[in-house]
Amino acid sequence: MAGGMVFFSLSLEWLRHSSRVVFGARDHHWAGVAAEGLGALAVLGMALYCAFFWALWASWVRLVARPCPRKLFEGNWQQSTWESLRCSGLAALGWVACEFLRAHALWGGFGWNGLGVAFHQQSVLAQGAEWVGVHGLAALPVLVAGAGLNALRRQWAIWRGQGSCRTRLDFTLALCLLLGVALLGLWRLREPSGETLNRVRAVLVQPQIDQVDLWSGRLAPQQYERLAQWTRLYGERRGTLPGVDLVLWPENALPLPLEADGRPHDLPWHPEYFDGLLRQGDFALMFGTEVEGARVGESHVAAAFMRGSFAGRQVRHKVHLVPFGEYLPMREWWPFSLLRGILPGDFTHGRSTQPLQFEQTAGPVGLIPLICFEDGDGALARRFVRPEPQILVNLTNDGWFLQSAEPEVHLAQAKFRAIELRRPLLRATNTGVTCMVDSRGRVLSRLGQAGQALRVEGCLPVEVELGRREAGLTFYARWGDAMAWSCLVLFFGGWLIGKRVLFGITKD
Catalytic residue IDs: 251, 318, 372
Strands (E) across 312-404 are located at 314-317, 356-358, 365-371, 390-396
Which contacts qualify for 220-224: CB closer than 8 Å, 24 or more apart? 220/255, 220/256, 220/262, 220/265, 220/267, 221/266, 221/267, 223/254, 223/255, 224/254, 224/255, 224/267, 224/268, 224/273
- 478-494 burial string, b = 16+ CB within 10 Å, else e? eebbebbeebbebbeeb
CA separation for the pair 95, 114 (Å, rounded): 10
CA separation for the pair 54, 93 (Å, rounded): 13
Name the DSSP class of 254.
S
Angle of helix 2-11 relative to helix 33-63, nearest 10 degrees, comes to 140
User: In a 10 Å sphere around its CB, with 0-12 CB exposed, 13-18 middle and 19+ buried, how is residue 425 labelled?
Assistant: buried
CA separation for the pair 502, 496 (Å, rounded): 10
CA separation for the pair 147, 363 (Å, rounded): 51
Which contacts qualify for 236-239: CB closer than 8 Å, 24 or more apart? 236/280, 236/281, 237/280, 237/281, 237/282
CA separation for the pair 468, 489 (Å, rounded): 35
Contact 102, 116 (CB under 8 A): no
The amino acid at 405? A
Which contacts qualify for 268-272: CB closer than 8 Å, 24 or more apart? 268/224, 270/310, 271/310, 271/311
* Cα dist from 377 to 8, 27, 244, 384, 422, whole Å: 19, 29, 29, 12, 15
The amino acid at 58? A
